[in-house]
A and B are shown apart, each in its own frame.
Chain A
Amino acid sequence: MRAVIVEDLALLREGIVALLRDNGIDVVAQAEDGPGLERIVSGHKPDVAIVDVRLPPTFSDEGLRAAIEARRRHPGLGVLVLSQYVEPVYTAELLASGEAGVGYLLKERVGEVREFIDAVQRVADGGTALDREVVAELMRAHAAGGAHGGALGSLTPREREVLELMAEGRSNAAVARALVVSGGAVEKHVRNIFAKLDLPAGEDDHRRVLAVLAFLRAGAA
C-alpha cells in the first residue's frame, strides 16, 4: 500500500512515517501544506493520503479543505484526516464529500497502533474510519435531534455498542474482536439493529457502515 502524509509539524510527521513503515505501509511522499497535498497526490497516485486539518499558511482548516478538494479530483483516493479537535462541522463536511474511503481521527489515536493501521487500511480500501468521539457526537446529536430519537432508544445497550463500533467503520469481525464476542453474536446484533432502525441490510461490511452513518447523519441534521 502506498501512502502520502501532509503534516506541518516535523515531530509528528516523522512519528507517523516511522509507525507506518514499521507496519509495512510505504510512505511515498510527504508535504507540509495544503497545496503540497495536491502536488504529491497527482505526482505519486497513492492509495491513501493522511492529512492534518490545521496547516500553513492559514493554520485554520486548510488541511480539511485540501482533503475534500483532493477527493473531488481523485475519486479513488482514500483520505484520512487527523485533527487535535473533533468538530462536528468538519466531520459533516468531510462525510458530505462521500462516505466511502474517508476517515477522521483524533491525532492521539495514532498511538493505538493496531487500530490506526487498521483504519488506514480501511480508508485505502474505500471504507470508513471515524473517531469514537465523532461517533459519540453523532449519537448525541441524533438523540437530541428529536425526530428519530425514539428509534435509538429502542436499542439494547449491547446493540448501541455494536452500532457505535460499526459507525466507526469497523467490519463485523473487528467489532467481534473489540467486544470479545463471537462473529455470530455480532451478526445477530447487527440484524436486530437494522430491523429496529428500519435499514436495508447488506452483506458487505462497507455498505452496512454507510447505512448506519447515513441513518445517524440524517437524524443529526
Chain B
Amino acid sequence: MVVSIATPRLPIATRWSRDLLFHLAGLLTACAGLALWVTGVAVSLSVAITYFGLVVALGTLLGCRWFARVERRRAAIVLGRAIDERHAPLQGTRWTTRLHALMGDPTTWRDFAWTGLAGLVGMTLSGLALTLWGCVLAFVTLPAWYWALPAGADVGLFDIDTLPMALATAAAGLALVPVAGAAVRGLTVVELAMMRWLLAPRAAPGGEPGDPVPGAPPAVGGAAPPAPPLSLHVAFSLVIAVLMAIVWAATGLGYFWPVWIWLGLAIAVALHVVALRGLQARGDAQQALRVKGELCAVIAAICWVVWALAGGGYLWPVWPMLGMGTGLALRAILVFRERLPWVREQALAERVDVLTRTRQGALDVQAAELRRIERDLHDGAQARLVALTMQLGRAEERVADQPEVAALLRRAREDAGLAIAELRDLARGIAPPILADRGLAAAIDALAQRSAIPVTVDAQPGRRPPPVVETAAYFVVAEALTNVAKHAPGAAARVDVQRDGDRLVVEVADDGPGGADPAGSGLRGLRHRVEALDGTLSVTSAAGEGTTVRAELPCGR
C-alpha cells in the first residue's frame, strides 16, 4: 500500500539513482537534524527553569519548522514534487499571538517530532542505504585496487589477495546490484512512509477535505495519511537489527557497533508507541499528561542508554531529567490542582454556598408556588363550583312545584358542595390561608381550637419567620396534634413555639401513653420537611411518659 502511492513510474536505474541521491541528502540532513534536535532539547530542558530555556526551546521549534521544510523538499527527489506544507500562519502584531500560533499549531510539533526521528531513524536508514551501495561499489571495483592493500581486502571471512578472487568478488558485487537496489528501495519506502505520516498536512479536525486547492493534482500523501502500523515497524526494526548483527559477525566481531543501530531502532519504536498513545488520548488533560510523562520517560531512557553505551563517566543525563521532571511536575500540578487539599476545600465551600442558596431558592419558589395554587383554587375551581351551587339553588326554587326535579337539583347541589369541601381541605393542606393572613401564632391557635383534644398554646415566634419556615412549623404542629388525637385520645397537649436566637423551636408535648414510632410515615414526612430547611426533628416517646415532638428550624435570614 505504501509503495505504490504517488511514486512515479520511472526506469529502474533512474529510480535507484534517485533513491541513492535521496539517502545521500538524507544522511546530511539527518546529521543536521539530529544536531539541532539533541542540542535544542538538551539545552532547553537543562535550562528550562530560566527564561533562556524558553528562548532556546522557541529557537529549536522554529529551527525544526525550517528543517521540516527542507525535508519535504528532499522527498521531491524521489516523488517528483515536494510534500505539501500547511502551517498555521504566524500572524498578528503582538508577539504573544504569534507565539500562540506557533505553539498551538500541531504541524509545529510534528515538524519537531520529525526532526528527532530523522536524526535517529533517518540517519540509520540512509546510513544503511549508503553502506549497501558502498559495499557493492567496493566489490565491483575490487580488482582495480585490491593489490594496493598490504594485507588484502578483508571481506567478511575472506581475505581477497589474488586477482581471480578479486574478479569473483566483482562478479558477486554485480550480482548484488539488484539486491542493493531493491533493499534501498525498501528503505526509501519506509522513510517516505514515515515522512508522509508526520510531514504531510492533515485534514482539519472538522473533517474538511485535505487539499486546499481545488483542481490541483492529488497532493503527495494528501489527506490524513495512514500511520504505518506498529507491527510492521517492529518487524522491520527486528530484521534490520538481526541483519546488522550478521554483518557485524561477518566483518570480524570487533567493537559491537550494531548496538547504536539497535538503539536508533528502539528509539523509533518507542516514539512510535508513544505517538500512537498520544493519538488515542485525545482531549483528556490527564491522559495528555500521561502521554507526556511517557515521552519524557522514553527520552530519559535514551539518555541513560546513551550514557551507558558511551562508557559512563559524568552523569549528564541528570540534567535533562531534572528539566523534564520540573516541567512534568508543573504540568501535573496544573492538571491535578483540583485535588490539592486547599483548592478542594475552597471548591467544596463554594459548592456548599451554591447549594445552600439554590436550595433556599427552590424552597422559596415552592412556597410561593403552593400559595399561588391555593389562590388559583380559591378564585378558580372553588369559585366556579360555588357559582354552580347558586345556580342550582335558584333553579331548585323555580321548580318547587316539581318535587322530583327539585330533588335531583338538590342532590346535584349537595354533590357540588362536597366537591367544594374537598377542594377546601386540599387547599388547607397545601397552604393554610390563615397562616399567610395572620401568621404562625394565629394559625396554631386555630389548630388548637380545631383539635379534638384539649390543647394549650404558648406561641411566641417573634419577628415573622420566612414563609417556608412558618409553613414547616405549622405542619409540624398540625401533624403532631393529629397524631395525639389519633393515638392518645384521652391526652392533653401543649404547644410551645419560641424563638431561640436565629432558630425557631417548636415543641408539641402530650401526657399520653408514649411509645410513638419515630419512623412512622407521618413523622418521617415531617422530618424530611424540617431537614430540607437544615432543621432537626426529635421525637421523645418513652412508654408512660407521653410524647414530645421537637423541631428546631433555622430562620436566620
A interface residue numbers (CB < 8 A to B): 9, 11-12, 15-16, 18-19, 22, 54, 59-61, 84-85, 87-90, 106-108, 110-114, 116, 137, 140-141, 144-146, 220
Contacts and interface: CB of A to CB of B under 8 A. Distances in A.
B272 to A, nearest CB: 77
Contacts of A9: 379, 383
A113 B396 CA distance: 9
Nearest to B397: A113
B555 to A, nearest CB: 21
A108 B388 CA distance: 9
B81 interface: no
Contact of B454 (A15, A113, A144): A144
Nearest to B417: A108
Contacts of A11: 383-384, 387
Nearest to B421: A108
Contact of B386 (A85, A107, A145, A220): A107
Contacts of A220: 449
Contacts of B227: none
B411 to A, nearest CB: 12
A61 B438 contact: yes
Interface string B370-406: 0000010011001111111111111011000000000
A139 B392 CA distance: 31
B390 A110 contact: yes
Contact of A89 (B385, B421, B428, B446): B446
Interface of B: 375, 378-379, 382-394, 396-397, 413, 416-417, 420-421, 424, 428, 433-434, 436-438, 442, 445-446, 449-455, 492
Contact of A59 (B375, B392, B413, B424): B375
B450 to A, nearest CB: 6
Contacts of A114: 397
Given A22-B397, A90-B434, A106-B420, 17 more contacts: A11-B387, A12-B383, A12-B386, A88-B446, A89-B445, A89-B449, A107-B382, A108-B416, A108-B420, A111-B393, A111-B413, A112-B413, A113-B394, A113-B397, A141-B450, A144-B455, A146-B492
A40 B385 CA distance: 28
Contacts of A89: 434, 438, 442, 445-446, 449
A46 to B, nearest CB: 21
13 contacts: A12-B383, A12-B390, A19-B390, A19-B393, A84-B420, A88-B446, A108-B416, A108-B421, A110-B386, A113-B396, A113-B397, A140-B449, A141-B449
